[in-house]
Chain A
């Protein structure tokens, strides 16, 4: 099995191996520590589904397989963050072009253009857009969301050859970073699979979703 971070920089993608995630919160802490994210904000969070439930017989820790068979996948933890989608819905709906997909593949938000309309929040299937200032001052008074904040996939770290802080910190290598092909191959090697349905995979990887 490879490390979670397989390659960085241009065309690098980030994707969770939910069967490896143990909900330790290491990624959340690493992100906060690296980017000085305040206590009540987070750019990555772990959603634990069916907490305490056992999967269908023989399918514990095989969530994707269970889902494909229409069986109960049992307790499953999914690290949720911006996956810098190939067909990013947030970019499509942004009225001020503050969200855009850069040529190197990163989806970036330009703070000075964001008007806090929260269309991106409605459009993103993964709940990535965060609005930490939504309850403050003018934003609260007028019902806007303030400025949107989300995972940057640690672009600055990747520029100098390091992996995203969350993936580097993950004790179980549940956050995979690399090209779509590398991620698909690694999941296959682990006997794991994508937890998301084909529609979500098409959004995240575009044509490369076929690799999974």
Chain B
């Protein structure tokens, strides 16, 4: 394991992260096209109308099931997988870190617990690579995906559960459960995009999710730093305004989706409980489309992360070739877990 804070994903994890992100983005675009079909009419049309959008959602749903099965099998059958699973288990330190964080926010503690310092530039000797917040993100994401998958499959194939499903109450329960979970997850993913794309140290994209750790050097050339060297990074000139704009868009997107799910009848809120309508619909239409824009930016950033990996690999190959030419030796391809 490197002492740098950024090389913590294996090649398998980076590939899985990319595939999962792509699949989840497609599920969001089609799912929210269905849910907010009036505000996102253009998205529904782009995906082939009513039949197209449901087909896209279901194909992406099947792909999600395949990815989950693959991931579970990998966690069970590989030593790295089992090791990673052990790493994300919450320990007493994580509980202590959470409590200390609450105290810190309330002014009752002088500093944050080491298990909470994910982005502070510490060496891995000082703090664990995965904070309790990072573990929490994985937990929440996994639980949400599992519940959405189960409810989605039940909604799709009603044959087996028809006897329980054939009432208004049961239908509403499935609809509300799947819809509300989707809304919660959308908000989480928007925040995830903002958090990992617009952190001053990583802007515009946090490459640890895209470049496998074997391609990251174990040490910096200059190893005299007291920390990871994060303090030597220069802030991109565009970071300030880009982060402000993206922050505003993210907040508008999250609030609009949340409000929209309350204002918009049917899914997940039944007509009887609907509030709003009238001129507010225009604001919601703008807001919900802003939310979709945030998702599009997220998808673009994750594609950019992959582009950076490709460029980085080429750079490593060129450096290796240059070294080999100088030494007159063989060019070794980097291998990975």
Interface residues of A (CB under 8 A from B): 89, 91-97, 112-119, 122-123, 125, 138-139, 141-144, 146-147
| CB contact list, B12-41 vs A, under 8 A | 34-35, 37-38
Beyond A92-B168, A93-B175, A144-B54, 20 additional contacts (C-beta under 8 Å) are A89-B168, A92-B270, A94-B266, A95-B175, A95-B266, A95-B267, A97-B265, A112-B50, A113-B37, A115-B50, A116-B51, A117-B54, A122-B168, A123-B168, A123-B171, A142-B54, A142-B55, A143-B157, A144-B51, A144-B55
Q: Is the interface of A mostly helix, strand, loop or mixed?
A: loop
| Bound Cα distance from A118 to B155, whole angstroms | 9
Q: Please state if B34 and A96 are interface contacts (CB–CB under 8 Å).
A: yes
B166 at the interface (CB under 8 A from A): yes
| Bound Cα distance from A115 to B265, whole angstroms | 16
- Chain A hits for B55, CB < 8 A: 138, 141-142, 144
Interface residues of B (CB under 8 A from A): 34-35, 37-38, 50-55, 58-59, 155-158, 162, 165-168, 170-172, 174-175, 179, 265-267, 270-272
**Which of A95, A125, A143 is B58 in contact with, Cβ under 8 Å?**
A143
**Chain A to chain B contacts (Cβ below 8 Å), 19 pairs:** A91-B271, A92-B168, A92-B172, A92-B270, A93-B266, A95-B267, A96-B34, A96-B266, A96-B267, A97-B265, A113-B37, A115-B50, A117-B54, A123-B172, A138-B52, A142-B51, A144-B51, A144-B54, A147-B50
Q: Please state if B272 and A92 are interface contacts (CB–CB under 8 Å).
A: yes
**Which of A93, A115, A125 is B54 in contact with, Cβ under 8 Å?**
A115
Q: Please state if B266 and A115 are interface contacts (CB–CB under 8 Å).
A: no
- Chain B hits for A93, CB < 8 A: 168, 171-172, 175, 266, 270
**Which of A92, A97, A115, A142 is B38 in contact with, Cβ under 8 Å?**
A97
What's the least CB distance linking B40 to chain A, in Å?
A: 11
| Bound Cα distance from A146 to B51, whole angstroms | 7
Residue of B nearest to A133 (CB): B51
